[in-house]
Structure 1
Amino acid sequence: MDTQVTTKFKIFKTVNEVFEAIIDPEKMSNYWFSWGGSDQETVVTITLTELEPASTVIEVNESGLRENDPEIVNKMIDQKEGWVYVLTCLKAYLENGVHTLRASLLH
């Protein structure tokens, strides 16, 4: 079973603007949140692809979830939901200046 979780979004900003939002802690605090700890380590790869001068595809791939985990399907769904939420907040922040979405998540 492939246990990779992949999430892609199109953001109407340049690759540089998206990259800066990912690496700059001050910008990151406008959209990023952390969610429940995992009992295992995973590898997260973020790829930025320029579509047009002001349009970027961000792809997040998380791998390393244990295939033999009896809760693997639930964990994969949880991770996918988390990445969709983070990228939604990133898109809202970069495209519209919204920085309050991350505070609206209920656990």
Structure 2
Amino acid sequence: MATQKLQIKTAIQILKPAQQVFEAIVDPAKMSNYFISESSGPMEAGKTVTWKFPEFAETFPVRVSNVEPDKSLSFFWDGTDGTELQVEIALAPTGNQATVVTITEKEMDNNEAGLTWLMGNTAGWANFLACLKAYLEHGINLRKGAFDFMKPGV
């Protein structure tokens, strides 16, 4: 019997139009208000950008594969074990200028390493969505100081 692959899928509704949600995801100046501390540039198809998070010393290359303005984007990045993982972000407009944001990340083997990835990155993407919602709807940066306890030497 083949080992089933694991993937993450999480979603949230944000009370903003898809265009505003999309811009907050692809524009590093906006993204630094709720997710990363810095980026080497905007997310554009065919480009590799480098993300830096406030609680980690290392940087993370993000290989952007597809961008459909106000609808979706996808990128690849490497898991902690070097596995290339694909992230897909879909935006679905709903009534009253709201947008459902769905994030799918795939895939890892159904083993101990895969389960560790599943737990950690599921929590990470749920946090991303909550932070995106708080930023867009209320101008709040939920991430500021939230993960300082993870910094080396703390």
TM range, smaller chain? 0.7 to 0.9
2:64 aligned residue:
none
Computing the radius of gyration over CA atoms, which structure comes out larger, 1 or 2?
2
- What is the Cα deviation at residue 102 of structure 1? 1.2
Structure 2 residues without counterparts, runs of 5 or longer: 37-52, 57-78
Q: Which amino acid aligns with 1:47?
A: A
SS in 2 for 1:13: coil
RMSD over aligned Cα atoms: 1.8
Listed as ranges, the matches of 1:1-107 within 5 Å are 1-33=4-36, 34=53, 38-39=80-81, 40-67=83-110, 69-99=111-141, 101-103=142-144, 104-105=146-147, 106-107=149-150
Q: Which is bigger in relative contact order (C-alpha 8 A, separation at least 6)?
A: 1
Q: Which has the higher helix share?
A: 1
Q: Which runs of 4+ in 1 moved over 6 A?
A: none
Q: Give the number of aligned pairs.
A: 105
TM-score scaled by length of structure 1 = 0.88
CA distance in structure 1 between the partners assigned to 2:128 and 2:32 by the alignment: 11
Residue type of the alignment partner of 2:8: V
Q: Give the drift of 1:64.
A: 2.1
**TM-score of the pair, normalised by structure 2:** 0.62
**Kept in 1: contact 2:5–2:108 (CA 8 A):** no
Give the letter aligned to residue 21 of structure 2: V
What SS is found at the alignment partner of 1:98?
coil
Is there any run of 5+ residues in structure 1 with no aligned partner, and where? none
